[in-house]
Amino acid sequence: MVFNVLGALYEAAELRRNELRAYLDSKLDALPDAYEYWFCHEGGDDSLSTAALAAASGVSELSGLRLTAINTEVISDSDEIIEGSLLDVLKPHAGLKDRVRNLKAICEFRNSINAVNELKPDLLLMNGSLMGTVLRPVKYDGILGTDVKTWIRKNCLKKITNSTDELSIHSRSFDGILRDTFRSYKPVVYLEGIEGLISIWKLLRKTKDIIAVSRRSTMSDIFEDMPDITVFNDLTQGWAIPYPSTENSQT
């Protein structure tokens, strides 16, 4: 007797999908009054301007080092684009993936600040959860000694807080002195984490009209027994329209 394990798994998955879909449809038929979750916008719907943030990063090995490339764009509903890119060379170490993710977040927030200044959108759309970024512990916060963190806060934070909003990682200017003083890359990564929080703080000082929800969010403020994002994804649809590049013939 031959038992098709893969086929049985497909059948079980399809059955489960149909059960979840039926349950979701029943929830959509009985949506609660979510008026308190909406904000008021003065003027008609056509006057509401939006801008959306997108970013990507990549890491390639180069002679034992890691060449890191980050690109971020904020695109408005009037087709205006605020773009910024960053190239950096990092030495390989444990936790490099998390470090690059934080560097990308810094670039996203700084480019968003520039976009808010120039485009002045009513709403800024971001991919990911600001709350999750803020609540995520700063790398090596629980490992570095109090003396190291005190030195960093005393000698580095003021300069980073007062830095311009250009697309760069200002913590990198302290790379040499931190490595020479503490003989480790960890203080540099810790400072970059602090810079990420400072970048969020600066963005929120510019605007609080931000929609930033992770597609993996488990928050259920509206729907008690399932993540709100599950229902929102079913009610909304997104798409991207390619546009011609001015630098080459590709789209």
Handedness of CA 43, 44, 45, 49 (dihedral sign): negative
Measured in degrees and rounded to the nearest 5, phi and psi for residue 135 equal -80, -20
pLDDT at 166: 79
pLDDT at 181: 92
Measured in degrees and rounded to the nearest 5, phi and psi for residue 88 equal -145, 155
Q: At a CB cut-off of 8 Å and minimum separation 6, what does 186 contact?
A: 139, 140, 143, 144
Which own/partner pairs from 157-161 qualify as long-range (CB within 8 Å, at least 24 positions apart)?
157/194, 157/198, 160/191, 160/194, 160/195, 160/198, 161/198
Q: For residue 72, list its beta bridge partners.
A: 55, 84
pLDDT at 12: 78
pLDDT at 39: 59
pLDDT at 250: 38
pLDDT at 111: 92
**Can you list the residues of the chain whose pLDDT is less than 50?**
1-3, 239-251
Burial of residue 115, with CB atoms counted within 10 A of its CB: 0-12 exposed, 13-18 middle, 19 or more buried: buried
What does the pLDDT look like over 179-220, one tens digit per residue? Answer: 899 999 999 999 999 999 999 999 999 988 888 777 777 777
pLDDT at 188: 92
Taking the model in full, what pTM does it have? 0.72
pLDDT at 216: 72
